Amino acid sequence: MSIKVAISQKPPVLLDLEASMARALETIEEAANSGANIVVFPEAYLPGYPTWIWRLSPGKDMALGNTIHAKLRENSVDIQAGDLDPLCEAARQHKMVVVIGMNERDSTYSGTTLYNTLVVIGTDGQILNHHRKMMPTNPERMVWGMGDASGLKVVETPYGRLGALICWENYMPLARYALFSQDIDIYIAPTWDSGEVWISSMHHIAREGGCWVLSTATAMTGSDIPDDFPDRDSLFDQDEWINPGDAVIIKPFGGVHAGPLHQEKEILFAEIDLEDARRSRKALDVSGHYNRPDIFNLEVDRGSKPPIKFIDDCE
């Protein structure tokens, strides 16, 4: 089965959820007009990856960091409140699968904690999977809480079986194996990482898992930082490339199929054949014939981990 995929590395409007949502809808429209069946956005696209955390000085810039974080919280996504409804409707109208990263605010329990979240929206507009990054990386832990494994799933779509891990989760061998063992066709790796080392990891995953690998970061320059970003000029140079994007598609068993799209604020399009993934696993199937379950055993707890359980009277 041949399908067309679109990987966007266009930048959002940092810290502005409404404007970033509008850009996402424009991208979906553009992808649909080009005949895409699946569209993929980068890590934390709504309303942008918190790149400032790698530039703040611990202690010295704490007040500035708190100011920026408050604005991020105010512009984060509340799924329970219907913030994703416009994207779900666009996916339904265009009969597309939409994979998008976001800063998600937990409105069910704390009302305050943010998560690095990725959702897969199906062609009927329903959210097929909701995955929170299990381990934020280094200073990301000052921004996001740790998710559980309830979203560590591969989901069925009309365009193949999709699974995803976020950024450095892709360096967690057991997390990768959990996806490989669910009959995966397309492995999606939204990220903030880029460059040769990251792309070489995508080659490894494609070979290891026998699946298509789609990856992208956000292509962003200093000029993309809005004028009202707190203390913008002290943190960013208007002429710098903050991230080159490097959207790429890797063939099952390795080899570049399309991209990388380097320092271009565009969409990478390509046709892929899902059957190529299944054929590639004839030689190496790490959750099948090239495995020793009599020696190795992996147990994954995908139960949700709420912080509290209330027991109310039934009277």
| Catalytic residue, candidates 10, 88, 133, 211 | 133
Contacts of 178 (CB under 8 A, 6+ apart): 149, 152, 298, 300
| Catalytic residue, candidates 10, 104, 167, 208 | 167
Our answer to whether residue 309 is catalytic in this structure is: no
| Catalytic residue, candidates 10, 43, 104, 153 | 43
Query: Taking a C-beta distance cutoff of 8 angstroms, is the pair 22, 53 a contact?
Result: no
User: Token pair 């992208």 is at which residue?
Assistant: 216
Our answer to whether residue 167 is catalytic in this structure is: yes
> From CA 127, how far away is CA 37, in angstroms rounded?
16
**Other CB atoms closer than 10 Å to residue 243's CB: what's the count?**
23
Kindly report the backbone phi and psi dihedral angles of residue 164, in degrees, each rounded to the nearest multiple of 5, phi listed first: -150, 145
**Residues taking part in catalysis:** 43, 133, 167
